[in-house]
Structure 1
Amino acid sequence: MGSLLFSTCRSCVHWLGFLLVEPVKAPILLTSDCTVPENNNAVVLICHTNADSIEWFFNGTNLGLSEKRKLSEDHRNLTIDPVEREDSGYYQCKVSNPISSAEISLLTFRCLLTNAQFSVVSTNVAEGKDVRLSLRNTPPNVTGYRWFRGESGIPHDLIAGYFILERKFVKGRLYDGRKIVDLDGSLLIRKATREDKGIYTVVAHLPNSVQRVGFGWLDVFEPVKAPILLTSDCTVPENNNAVVLICHTNADSIEWFFNGTNLGLSEKRKLSEDHRNLTIDPVEREDSGYYQCKVSNPISSAEISLLTFRCLLTNAQFSVVSTNVAEGKDVRLSLRNTPPNVTGYRWFRGESGIPHDLIAGYFILERKFVKGRLYDRRKIVDLDGSLLIRKATREDKGIYTVVAHLPNSVQRVGFGWLDVFEPVKAPILLTSDCTVPENNNAVVLICHTNADSIEWFFNGTNLGLSEKRKLSEDHRNLTIDPVEREDSGYYQCKVSNPISSAESWLLELHIQDE
């Protein structure tokens, strides 16, 4: 039997793990209603817990799953769809972790079957407008209402309440003065904000300490603004190039039109997953025409003029030369295929080209330098239209847009990317263990680095991978399993990014007989 030794034990790291576990708290069992219509509805029971291990019980025995009784992947949600009379009874969840366990009382949630489900009417509203969350199927003889954020219904999440007999308004931790519980139990929210979006829970208090619980959703949308349709160039070479049109919008629903009709997709016309980017590859003469995007959300819609972007076909594409730079160094973003007779340039961060994102500009005839919201003294627009950035930082990384102004109010738009890299530091080669038995154990070598590109070497040549020599997905970890005598030798990792490279010290692996 041999043993495994490393001559560079300063690089060796030994791991000893321990697990901190939060004690389990009594779970809270939630449902949108304990009284649901038979056959016609589904019911979801939620076991609200800080534990990972969850068991469900029905009438005191383990819950049997079926086509209609299903658990979510994390076992927190039980869905019964459809609900039938046989589903009436007592439900319970028991939770645990390696050090403790807890359960909820069997008696709290008994589902009976009637024809009315108490709930909050889910509602959409424009940001800044007033909205009322109304109730559906309110039970008779209600003595009071309490409203909560989220689905827990716990005091910590109370907004406000109103108790009718006492004529008493109560304020909770989340009360902010904009929310009012009315006599009919509805919740009025004045000047809704995006932070008001989410699930709301209402508890209706009935005589004899009976409570009914309802849930609903409020969605708060920013009013849709007219979208901005961008392209790197409206003049592109036929057959040889691709063009990307970008619909810049604050809406989620986007439709594309070509010459006034719905855009037909094909192998060469493709939309990105979010429908914001339309790629035409290759561009052909038939693609010349008028493009438009229409956007909407549940409360508003907008569109961009058909006439703004007409693509003709020539052989020059105006753009920014995408560039890499080391952090702390100066960099110049140059232009490619600059059109003739330019009268000025404006530079923007991102791809929108809107005034809010303006860095700076220079207008040649007026000899006028303009500063935008994103201007800082490190950025200068030169006479040739290039953008000089002094002492680049990681925050400078991203897309840049340049607008070239031509006579007769014509504009040309170009895009490019700046990547700012931290100079690569010499990597440190670590191992999980400095002494392991031959054949019987695995060893892991770790290349600790701030770079993304990693190469491994063994005895001065590129490391050959095999069934026993494997790299992790990010190439940082080399696993040898099992370790054999032939694995003895010198290991090294070399790392790089587009602007620098470095290599680790050699780590020598010995296998010696005991």
Structure 2
Amino acid sequence: MMESSVIPCKGCNPWQGLLLTASLLTCWYRTTTAQVTIESVPPHVVEGESNLFLVYNLPENLLTISWFKEGANMDHKIAIYSLKYNIAVPGPAHSGRETVYPNGSLWTQNVTHDDTGFYILQTRSRQVKIVSTTYIHLHVYTSLLNCGRHPTSAQPTIESVPSSVGVGASVLLVVHHLPENLQALFWYKGINVFKNHEVGRHIIAKNSSVPGPAHSGRETVYSNGSLVLHNVTWKDAGFYTLLTLTTDLIAEIAHVQLHLDTSLSACCNDVTSAQLTIEQVPRDAAKGESVLLLVLNLPEDLQTFSWYKSLYSSHIFQIAEYSSVKNSTTQGPAHSSRTIVYSNGSLLLQDVTEKDAGFYTLQTLNRVFKTEKIHVELHVNQPVTQPFIRVTSTKVTVQSSVVFTCLSADTGISTQWIFNNQNLQLTERMTLSLKKCRLSIDPVRLEDAGEYKCEVSNPVSSMTSLPVRLAVMNE
């Protein structure tokens, strides 16, 4: 498609200028054999923005132009435009935000996620016969695309930095997406919110932290919600729970698992070998792969062990029970054909899906009827989708500024910028946002001209955007 500038018109807004341009182009370049085509402007639209379906090659001598959502019938009609009377009549699917123009284009303001779907443009001749039917699909991206901004309803998440720590080292449990109207936050050792398991709390109004019954003297709770543990020991391994409380008394809970790595420890003794642990193999699971929950240091005097798809060892959540006396496995209500339990305690999950994500519990019973319980949380990663770049302008002058924004529908991703097919080397004139999804250049120089791309990745996949070329001109 040829590139054309918008024809200026006095008193017109940019959309009307664009429509005028399209209307004139339709007159200049129309051919009898050209098919009707529709272009979405912009090509990627986010909730709250406006979208224009720009129509090309509209047939001549038409009676009406009709737009439909999902199906070409009266119930799905958005609007019909009569060229004879030069008037648009809304249909049952009209929301009050749509406008149909004489050149066939459809403008929708303040789009929402419900606007996603197929749209149908149908034209009829003066003999009331259908001349053309053209389809286009609109995908409305959510507000998560606003580069690092998250809805206020986003639940808190916790990241362990580093992800695996050795004995004697320190680890920071970083909290993301704390509520804006936070009143207090509480940290607990384990998965349950019990008073005697409280490590510490932070009260926002007093800007003070208070240790709890489970405080060892090595933990510090910060006002941003994060918890640091110094001089980590083997007893520190396992789950930690964060409870947040807002001023309107809404409570939310988030969990994180602290992993200890023997290869990072100064020494390994018999104490470590006696610790019952579960290792996820591979550590980062992708949808469709197999995941092994590998059990280490299973008790030697074992009588039975059971796996549960839950934090709780209730029979309804039981996957299977293994008896060492009978050397047999009994399937539970939560068992599936993709699940295999081994005699060494390990659990294999095949062809994992999002439904497999969550907490798993292993409970052991020895010959003196002593029970031990351990938990593991499985994360199933989806392959990332292709991001796209929004730029304030693709043609700028020297000494001006430009902002590139890498937009992605995925969460939990890392962002990398690419300039002329090489990793971008930042200069003192370039600034990245906290999550690296927004790149600002101020002031712009001639050497900044070129091709920009962004790459998003998670632990199992990566995708690169289509390129955006920046032209830099002298003033």
Q: TM-score, normalised by structure 1?
A: 0.41
* Bigger Rg over Cα: 1
Relative CO higher for 1 or 2, CA cutoff 8 Å, sep ≥ 6? 1
Which protein has the bigger helix share?
A: 2
Q: TM-score, normalised by structure 2?
A: 0.44
